[in-house]
Homo-oligomer: A and B are copies of this chain.
Amino acid sequence: MVEWLGAPLEEPIFDELAIIGVGLIGSSLARAVRKRHGARRIVLSDHSSETLARAEALKLGDLATKDVAKAVEAADCVVLCAPVGATEKIGRAMRSALKPDAIVTDVGSVKGAVIATLAQLLPSYAHLVPAHPVAGTEQSGPDAGFAGLFVNRWCILTPPSGADEGAIQKVRALWEAVGSNVEVMSAEHHDLVLAITSHVPHLIAYNIVGTAADLEEVTQSEVIKFSAGGFRDFTRIAASDPTMWRDVFLHNKDAVLEMLGRFNEDLTALQRMIRREDSDGLFALFTRTRAIRLGIVAQGQETAAPDFGRPRADGNGQS
């Protein structure tokens, strides 16, 4: 694991790093930064006493405090790792405690709304460099995190125009230290890209699981038993953290509705093909979609090994 991340840095990127919100992402970041020696000191904060107690028990940082102002007061860099809906509250709690030239970044799945909120809250002597590591699992909380989560995953930075170049480089260095590839784009473009690669997929997964749960003709027990036919994968996605995802849809409303509109148009056309028994049209679509899959496997964003719902390490492979 440590080898995979790389040897500890000779010179840490930050003297003190504050992580606000110690869930799956915050706790994984704390573990990875610690292993790479990316900061001399890591301070953790969370609104939940229970989560904070787990973070302390797991020794994820040097100090753990519920007091956001205290957590950030000596930090060179503050990383907001809470659901996007908590941004304003955290921003207000930390604004007057920030050091001069403190860098403020985050991990939110939505960037336009985060920038709109923080840009007007933060003091002018702080540097805002929003980020989004495109990584995760369907699990939540400090126990679900692990140091390798960001390895070979993309992290998108969306610095507002005029952002401090030195601050951008330090946030880039932070994500590269934990194994990510970094790409820079505008917040607006980010929100559109993620709407189609992440937000709408989650929305339709939540939706079909809800549809299945409400059927009268098919029992919940049957849905569960026969889930290996494809449904299973949707339930995994639909098991993601409800608070995080509620906030994503509320804060990226326009892009999500736009992409959902296109999805619906295409689904209507597909529905029409089925009704009219357009055999060639169906075959053409089902063939075309294979190409994107090949690209994802080729770029290491997923293994090509087939998935059949069981761990791949139990000897249950090709035979």
Choice from B137, B189, B212, B246 contacting A283 with Cβ under 8 Å? B246
A114 within 8 A of B: no
Q: Mark A233-255, 1 if CB is under 8 A from B, else 0.
A: 11111111011011001100100
Chain B residue numbers with a CB within 8 Å of A209 are 289, 292-293
Choice from B196, B226, B234, B277 contacting A193 with Cβ under 8 Å? B226
**Best-buried of A31, A201, A221, A237 by chain B (most CB within 10 Å):** A201
Give chain A interface residues in 136-155, CB to chain B under 8 Å: 136-139, 144, 146-149, 151, 153-154
Q: Do A249 and B282 touch across chains, with their CB atoms under 8 A apart?
A: yes
7 closest Cβ contacts across the A-B interface?
A198-B229, A137-B306, A313-B313, A242-B286, A201-B230, A239-B293, A209-B289
CA distance A300 to B154 in the complex (A): 33
Nearest chain B residue, comparing its CB with the CB of A218: B193
Contact-size category for A: 35 or more
Task: List the number of copies, as a whole number.
Answer: 2
Q: Do A201 and B138 touch across chains, with their CB atoms under 8 A apart?
A: no
- Partner-binding segment picked from A123-131, A162-170, A265-273: A265-273
- Partner-binding segment picked from A14-22, A44-52, A256-264: A256-264
Q: Do A1 and B287 touch across chains, with their CB atoms under 8 A apart?
A: no
Q: Do B208 and A296 touch across chains, with their CB atoms under 8 A apart?
A: no
Beyond contacts A201-B208, A246-B286, A303-B309: 19 other A-B pairs, Cβ-Cβ < 8 A, are A134-B226, A136-B229, A138-B306, A146-B319, A151-B316, A183-B225, A197-B212, A199-B229, A210-B266, A211-B263, A220-B292, A224-B292, A225-B301, A235-B296, A250-B277, A250-B279, A257-B274, A264-B267, A303-B310
CA distance A282 to B299 in the complex (A): 34
Q: List 5 A-B contacts (CB under 8 A).
A: A146-B316, A154-B226, A207-B263, A207-B270, A233-B236
A89 within 8 A of B: no
CA distance A302 to B137 in the complex (A): 15
Chain A, interface SS category: helix
A117 to chain B, nearest CB (A): 15
A217 within 8 A of B: yes
**Best-buried of A196, A197, A245 by chain B (most CB within 10 Å):** A197
Nearest chain B residue, comparing its CB with the CB of A267: B207
CA distance A292 to B208 in the complex (A): 11
Chain B residue numbers with a CB within 8 Å of A296 are 224, 227, 232, 235
A223 within 8 A of B: yes
Choice from B1, B238, B310 contacting A289 with Cβ under 8 Å? B238
Nearest chain B residue, comparing its CB with the CB of A145: B318
Q: Do A204 and B208 touch across chains, with their CB atoms under 8 A apart?
A: yes
CA distance A226 to B264 in the complex (A): 22
A204 to chain B, nearest CB (A): 6
A93 within 8 A of B: no
Q: Do B153 and A228 touch across chains, with their CB atoms under 8 A apart?
A: yes
Choice from B154, B224, B291, B307 contacting A236 with Cβ under 8 Å? B307
